[in-house]
Amino acid sequence: MAATPPAQKTNGAASSGLVLIMLNERHAKLLEDRGFDIELLDKLGVESSTTLGPDTIAIPIYEGGIKINTKYRTIAGEKLFSQEPGCKPVFWNVDCLTDETLKDQPLIITEGELDAIAAIQSGFGRVLSVPNGAPRKEGQHAGDRYKFIENAPNALNECREIILAIDADLPGTVLLNGLALRLGRVRCRWVKYPPECKDLADTLRLYCHRGVVETLNSAQWFEIDGLYRMADLPPLPELTPLDCGFPELKDHWKLREGDLALCRACQAQAKPQSST
């Protein structure tokens, strides 16, 4: 988890004119019933709002400790989402990428902020959320949708293991593959959720912290074309060993048709002639 931001500052674009307060009693109860730690939400700056109706929360987005955007979502009734217009697209919690104390941890990327908070609450420190959810279909606004990757610090390129904890629905599948394509499938893993769950927030609600931990720890690597585990390969026919051509080695070294054999003489000695 990134360090708690200093006194909030804005760039002007993230100001909606609405007065935000801390989580009210109703919102705190709704979120507690879903398994969330209210103290953690408060530390992350989550507040009650009326932007999308009475059951709206506001989630600030920081970059370099400065608030540059605010996202709004409902937590009861119809699911609604919005954010301040014209803001720079960056990952939520992007500052965790440059936190040196977290650099050895796998990076987790989620589709929504509450999913990311579920991971943080379960003990994972290096967690991001995309700022704009999932596209409804492949190629939708593709030119701008992934701008947050370009805007991320160089530390993103240095991450060796990235767990994509994206929603298990059709838009989530589009986002999952879009992220893997742009981040590199070779360093990405994907998660399977427990029964009746489509994201980490559901997993926290139904299976508590242990469910979130087990889900993330069991993430599977993406398949790479042409790259296989030895256990996945079919058995090969046994090949007849062939004489290597060196009398002194014939009882110790054999060749097989189709293998590449490289010979090297000891330093300062003549190199033997050999064939492959």
Nearest to 92 by CA among 56, 117, 73, 75: 117
Give strand ranges (E) for 130-175: 162-165
Mean pLDDT of 75-97: 97
Does the pLDDT value for residue 181 go beyond 80? yes
- pLDDT confidence of residue 10: 39
Gap between the Cα atoms of 44 and 37, Å rounded: 11
Give Dmax (Cα) for the chain.
89
Residue 13 predicted with pLDDT over 50: no
In the chain, % of residues over pLDDT 90: 68
pTM: 0.77
**pLDDT confidence band for 248 (50 / 70 / 90):** confident
Average of per-residue pLDDT across 134-161: 86
All domains of the chain, ordered by start, with CATH? 1-88 (no CATH), 89-226 (3.40.1360.10), 236-276 (no CATH)
Q: Which residues contact 188 (CB under 8 A, 6 or more apart)?
A: 162, 163, 164, 179, 180, 221, 222
Per DSSP (E only), the strands in the chain are 21-22, 47-49, 56-63, 66-74, 81-83, 107-110, 127-129, 162-165, 188-190, 220-221, 242-243, 254-255
CB distance 197 to 206 below 8 Å: yes
Compute the distance between CA of residue 52 and CA of residue 74 in angstroms, rounded to an integer.
Answer: 7
Give the per-residue pLDDT at 243. Answer: 86
Parallel, antiparallel or unpaired: strands 188-190 and 162-165: parallel
